[in-house]
Amino acid sequence: MSTIASTMADYRHQLRNNRLGLWLFFISEAFLFGGLFVSRFYLWGNTRPELDQTLGLTITSILLLSSFFMNRAEMAIAHDDRRTFLNSLLITAALGILFLIGVVGFEWRGHIRPWDGAFGAVLFGMTGMHALHVLSGVIFILIVWNNGRKGHYSSERHWGVEACAIYWHYVDVIWVFFYPALYLMGTVVR
């Protein structure tokens, strides 16, 4: 077996292990977010606090748009289009930061506080845990961008990009469930 073939076989083996580890991590995260999701319905029942609907829709749209650019970055590196890859990662990170500004800078400054009983606990618990994951995703994206800028990824070897994209899409999917649970479902209690 040639050195190149041996190296590729080792890479494929490591890639399988990496993917397995990532998906096991996501299963554990599903329990965390699932617990928060269930606590919303247990503590709020069929009610919800009055939240800024425009803000909720805006930050959701921003996060969904960021998924488009993350997918664009992943497809670009798969086709060795480094410029589109790097630009799309920066746009994704910027949109992630805008989402954080919307949640932490605006939603958290609303009329509900963490100590406002079940409404405050659930709202800040769900949005806070999600914001922490978005922040870690933005950091992950910037690390991948820096590595990409240095030429560490190619169409044959881009596990870091793939892992980052999967993580980012996972965080987006969590918000797709959190958004209606927080902003849309239940009768508003004032």
* CATH number for the domain that contains residue 180: 1.20.120.80
Give dist(CA 129, CA 33) in Å, integer. 8
Give dist(CA 37, CA 34) in Å, integer. 5
Domain that holds residue 183: 3-189
Q: List the end-to-end C-alpha distance of the chain, in Å, as a whole number.
A: 71
Look at residue 128 and tell me whether its pLDDT is greater than 80.
yes
Closest listed residue to residue 89, CA positions, set 97, 20, 129: 97
Write down the pLDDT at residue 11: 74
Residue 34's DSSP bridge partners are none
Give dist(CA 89, CA 76) in Å, integer. 10
Tell me: the pLDDT tens digits for 90-119?
999 999 999 999 999 999 998 889 999 999
Only one residue has tokens 């299963």, namely 27
Look at residue 181 and tell me whether its pLDDT is greater than 80.
yes
Tell me: the pLDDT tens digits for 43-91?
999 999 999 999 999 999 999 999 999 999 999 999 999 999 999 999 9
Give dist(CA 13, CA 5) in Å, integer. 12
Q: How far is CA 159 from CA 11, 14, 93, 102, 166, in A?
A: 10, 10, 19, 31, 10
Q: How far is CA 8 from CA 5, 144, 147, 151, in A?
A: 5, 22, 20, 18
Q: Say what the alpha-carbon torsion angle 39, 43, 49, 52 is, to the nearest 10 degrees.
A: 0
Percent above pLDDT 70 for the chain: 95
Q: How many domains does the chain have?
A: 1
